[in-house]
Amino acid sequence: MVFLQQLINGVMLGSTYALVAIGYSLIFGVLRLLHFAHGEVFMVGAFIGLGAVVYLHVGPLVALLCAAVGCALLGVVIEFVAFRPIRRRNGSLLAPIVSSLGVGLLLQEVATNLFGAEQTRFPPQFEGEMIRLGGLFVTSTQLFILGTSFVLMLAVHLFVSYTKYGMAMRASAESTDVARLLGINVDTVIVLTFAFASALGGVAGVLVGFAFSAISPFMGVSMSIKGVAIMLIGGLGSIYGAMVGGLILGVVEVMTVGYLASSYRDAFSFALLIIMLLVRPQGLFSGASAAKR
């Protein structure tokens, strides 16, 4: 029973990791670059959700919607300010990475000045009620997080596989030059990709706030590192690899804390990454990308 309890907790944590990693994978699949400010977008989403709950007195679903819309707009601004000018100058691959790091530090400083460096708590009612399922215990908040995460992952699959813009995104991921020849407005696809990925990151930020009842301006740093790690485990640019990799990493972390000690949490997570790079450097979904179903 202890194992199953830890497994449930790990899947819950991993589902939020997966939402963040999907954002990384979408952007990498289309632009072939790492968006290191994505972790700070996740952090901004958490604070937007907290603000909606505290000041607007809304429920969890509306808080998630506010975070998704706010972070989608933030993602579009980041693309126009930090990526598009560099991309049009045909600069080096290093330039957009440095630019995204700068945006991340800027967002972190703004959040620190506005909310302080200490952790901020969500209202107690978002901790949820305890529910007993046989010999297992879950909270209503955990069920909400799991349900929301898996619904969003299904929505990502349907969007990428069957919608017009999803197919344009997949075509652009294969080759932006060929996509342009086929009449696809690649700039529009890139903006949509940033908006979509940032919205997922914002929702994940609120879900993590619900799960741990605390957020801080520095929570995006570790999430950025883990998002990249999950993308490498799942396969560069693969949204399905991001889903599976996020769940795996969440389970590994929770099992490590449950059976060993919390101090080993990150050590075992990155040991998993190292083993994956040695055994299967292409990731679990080799050759997969945002353009592949």
CB-CB contact of 63 with 207 (8 Å): no
Global pTM value: 0.91
Looking at residue 293, what is its pLDDT?
Answer: 45
In the chain, where are the structural domains located?
A: 2-279
Residues making up the chain, counted from first to last: 293
Backbone angles phi, psi at 214, to 5 degrees: -160, 140
- The DSSP element (H or E) to which 16 belongs, if any, is helix 2-31
Range from 13-17, 279-283, 286-290 carrying the lowest mean pLDDT: 286-290
Backbone angles phi, psi at 259, to 5 degrees: -105, -20
Among residues 196, 191, 201, which one has the least CA distance to residue 81?
191
Fold of the 2-279 domain: ABC transporter involved in vitamin B12 uptake, BtuC (1.10.3470)
Residue pointed to by tokens 């990526």: 83
The DSSP output letter for 264 is G
State how far the Cα of 143 lies from the Cα of 140, in Å rounded to an integer.
5
Number of H helices, E strands in the chain: 12, 4
State how far the Cα of 49 lies from the Cα of 57, in Å rounded to an integer.
11
Range from 10-14, 15-19, 174-178, 186-190 carrying the lowest mean pLDDT: 174-178
Read off the amino acid at residue 200.
L
Kindly tell me if the per-residue pLDDT of 290 is higher than 80: no
How far from chain centre, in Å, is Cα 239?
11
Looking at residue 268, what is its pLDDT?
Answer: 81
pLDDT tens readout for residues 219-252:
999 888 888 889 889 988 888 999 999 999 999 9
Among residues 155, 154, 166, 124, which one has the least CA distance to residue 29?
166
- The DSSP element (H or E) to which 204 belongs, if any, is helix 186-212
Contacts of 229 (CB under 8 A, 6+ apart): 249, 269, 270, 273
Report residue 211's pLDDT band, with 50, 70 and 90 as the boundaries.
confident
Among residues 238, 224, 203, which one has the least CA distance to residue 70?
203
Contacts of 203 (CB under 8 A, 6+ apart): 19, 45, 64, 67, 68, 71, 148, 152
